[in-house]
Amino acid sequence: MTNTLREASPRRIALVTGGSRGLGRSTALSLAARDVDVILTYHTNRSDAETVLAAIREREGRAEALQLDAGSIASFDGFVEDVKRTLAEWQRNSLDYLVNNAGIGLGGPFQQMTEPEFDRLMNVHFKGVYFLTQKLLPLIADGGRIVNLSSGLARFSTPGFSAYAAMKGAVEVLTRYLALELGPRRIAVNTVAPGAIATDFGGGRVRDDAAINRQIAAQTALGRVGIADDIGPMIAALLSDENRWVNGQRIEVSGGIHL
């Protein structure tokens, strides 16, 4: 069953996973600035999510935060029911946008990667994206849009990220298949691949380690490390009607790293 009706409200609705901090937070706030109502997810830190909700509601937007473990596929049915309840409260039965942003920063040399670490990365970054999108698909309106987050590491190689980058490469292939298979419903699906960003992701090394920050800046055409607000507004713009004909694409937003 698909949903095409936008019942009581002309405002669009987006679901942003991992929307309580970092790139997800910037995306949620950037969407709200475009008059999009936002359902965001958080894993454990409800207080960070509440901060984002307050900022959105301050500009008179609607927002709700739902708990989600993006690597726990068994929990997705219950999460979808939570989404349905939120939509019903907003007098809607469908979403317009899905941003698969939730992730974990876990790396290590190929020789030392363990199967449990590999599985954790797989569950969050690929298997979770695959099956959460599948579960939410009946709630995405015809003509809606999906953005999957990848990484510059799927294009260039940096020691210590073989598993993480492989999962992101899988997401990029999945994006192309989704763009083709969801085409009859006019749902556009794209990948956004950030470069190195100064957030708390991966323990905040890019943000907090001055030597790493300088090294990355020296490898980037625009001469600095990215920040979350280099990415969130771009995702919001990509989801807008101005970019309705962009489909099945990998868009790297990295300031020109490793050109």
Q: What are the residue numbers of the active site?
A: 164
Residues 6+ apart with CB under 8 A from 110: 162
Residues 6+ apart with CB under 8 A from 6: 92, 94, 96, 141
List 251's β-bridge partners, or say none. Answer: 192
Tell me how far CA of residue 145 lies from CA of 43, 68, 163, 206, in angstroms.
24, 21, 28, 30
237 phi, psi to nearest 5 deg: -65, -40
246 phi, psi to nearest 5 deg: -90, 120
Sign of dihedral through CA atoms 55, 12, 33, 145?
positive
Pairwise CA distance, residues 235 & 230, whole Å: 9
**The length of the chain, given as a count of residues:** 259
Residue 161 tokens, joined: 């990220």
